[in-house]
Amino acid sequence: MFKTRLLSGIVLVILAIALILAGGDVLLFATLVISCIGMYELYRVFGVEKSVLGGIGYLAAIVYYCNLKWDFIPEILMLLMIFMIALMFVFVFAYPKYHSRQVMAVFFGMFYVAVMLSYVYRLRLLDRGLYLAFLVFLCSWGCDTCAYCVGKLIGKHKMSPKLSPKKSVEGAVGGVVGAALLTALYAYIFRTQMSLGTVQIWILAGIAAVAALISMVGDLTASAIKRNYDIKDYGHLIPGHGGILDRFDSMIITAPILFYLACYI
């Protein structure tokens, strides 16, 4: 199991590097595909993955990503409003086929997965975005790895015993510190390409620490949904890891946080 998980992890890292280096339409399309798969996994929990409701969710995600490329909708709120109204139409005229929680789950799934994950692509578009986009993976996956190692070594105090019994406070601290140090090292190595001074490197490390801390909320949110519906994994697409949401849960919330922190700090 460990060998399978390790090999899958290596493949994911290679794919992530290739997609970030490619950028542009390749990254946009790949992020859309990953988002739709993640939405399918989440919609399956609520039994709407192959329904009209689910179809509207996938269509909204596609339109949203096309708009990132061609900018034909003036503001995102307009798209979200049209999306919500379309869901309400289906809910009303198909009543009582769908439950209200399914309608809300479809709206939540599109925003939670597709919109938030799109910030990987949006981060890549910024100045020095090639280097900034890698921070999403460094913060989320780096935090996960450091938290796991520290938790295994010295973890004693449970962080959330009812939700995730294996996670410890010590592991969480190790994850945040580890992500900050990895980012500082990364920023130091590429300081010339990123035009960074010493102060800026440590500011970037601080941003990474904040993003890593918040990434744990994304991880625990995905776990909470699974516990609510008594499922182990969202899927089996990635051997040893589960589904897209099992592997990208922390990244979903890390990407927008890094984007806005990078823009304004």
List, in sequence order, every residue forming a beta bridge with 73; answer none if it has no partner.
none
How far apart, in whole angstroms, are the C-alpha atoms of residue 69 and residue 15? 22
Burial class (CB in 10 A: 0-12, 13-18, 19+), 75: exposed
Residue 190 CB neighbours (<10 A): 16
Q: What is the pLDDT of residue 169?
A: 84
Could you tell me how far CA 160 lies from the centroid of its own chain?
Answer: 21
**Is this prediction's pTM over 0.75?**
yes
pLDDT, tens digit (0-9, with 9 covering 90-100), for 222-246: 888 888 888 888 987 877 678 889 8
DSSP string, 37-92: HHHHHHHHHTT-TTSHHHHHHHHHHHHHHHHHHH--SS-HHHHHHHHHHHHHHHHH
pLDDT, tens digit (0-9, with 9 covering 90-100), for 65-108: 999 999 999 888 999 999 999 999 999 999 999 999 999 999 99
Could you tell me how far CA 206 lies from the centroid of its own chain?
Answer: 20
Q: What is the pLDDT of residue 3?
A: 67
With residue 160 as reference, give the H or E element that holds it: strand 158-160
Mean of pLDDT values over 201-221: 88
pLDDT, tens digit (0-9, with 9 covering 90-100), for 154-197: 877 788 777 777 788 888 889 999 999 999 999 999 999 988 89
